Amino acid sequence: MALLHSFEKSGNWLFRHRGELPVVLFILAIPVVYLTEIDWLKPEYRIVIASIAIALSIAGFVVRAISIGTTPKGTSGRNTKSGQVAESLNTSGIYSVVRHPLYVGNYLMWIGIVLFTFNFSFVIIVSLAFWLYYERIMFAEERFLERKFGQVYLDWSLKTPAFLPRLGSYCTSQVPFSIKSVLRREYSGMMATVFGFVFIDLLRQWFVSGSMNWQSASVYVFVAALVITFVLRSLKHYTRVLSEKDRS
């Protein structure tokens, strides 16, 4: 099998299993938190690092929200678990500054959680692993889009970076932002991110003191996120409150 086809095949396989990546990170975080010595970090430094970690994850959520909130039904911005899907090519709005904004958002959301372990080696390792993992997925997606849209796709890809945004090339989105799309499609990502921070916080408490503070602020945030998730999921599956025409 030619290397080109091997990359595409592995990228499609990784695409179908990309939802399993957070589980791997949670498992790896257990020994990392256990082995990470934080006594050398002054309390004020821990607060700064934790704040940066939370800000990175929020930034990632915002990037994903902008992408999803301005994406019409059946464009390259929305693919299914079974394979690549694109009825039209989305090149305006956030897609005019970066070709894969959803993956940029994913990286920021998860690297924030990884940074919250206070282990900088883990941040570097996960960053490299993330790039190797998603590089194959992006390759497979772009091969699909190139075959489907031909020169139109090539022209767009030549002027739009794959992962590092070029803000100077921004052009207004042809699709108005929809908060309903974000609420309908992003509650699970929000819940997973909150769970990640709470998981590491409680894990660190257990390893340091042998107990967990179930009345800590992180637990209250988790409960609030859980309630919001339940409400949004119920509205999505049992009502038409969040339904919209021509939106995925």
**Residue pair 171/233 in contact by the 8 Å Cβ criterion:** no
pLDDT of residue 71: 82
Tens-digit pLDDT profile for residues 137-146: 888 888 888 8
Residue 164 carries which side chain, given as an amino acid letter? L
Alpha helices in the chain (DSSP H): 3-16, 21-35, 43-69, 101-115, 120-149, 151-159, 179-185, 187-209, 217-238
pLDDT of residue 53: 98
> What residues contact residue 9 under an 8 Å CB cut-off, 6+ apart?
1, 140
Which residue has 């921004």 as its token pair?
Answer: 170
Confidence of residue 202 (pLDDT cuts 50, 70, 90): very high
Q: Of 42, 204, 198, which Cα lies nearest the Cα of 113?
A: 198
pLDDT tops 50 at residue 131: yes
Tens-digit pLDDT profile for residues 159-195: 999 899 998 889 888 888 999 999 999 999 999 999 9
pLDDT of residue 13: 78
Lowest mean pLDDT among 75-89, 147-161, 196-210: 75-89
Domains parsed from the chain with CATH numbers: 3-175 (1.20.120)
Residue 83: φ, ψ to 5°: 165, -175
pLDDT of residue 204: 94
Higher pLDDT, 209 or 63: 63
Mean per-residue pLDDT over the chain, rounded? 87
Task: Over range 2-22, report the average pLDDT.
Answer: 72
Question: CA-CA distance, 220 to 129, in Å (whole number)?
Answer: 32
Residue 173 carries which side chain, given as an amino acid letter? S
pLDDT tops 80 at residue 88: no
> What residues contact residue 139 under an 8 Å CB cut-off, 6+ apart?
7, 8, 11
Which token pair is 30? Answer: 């257990």
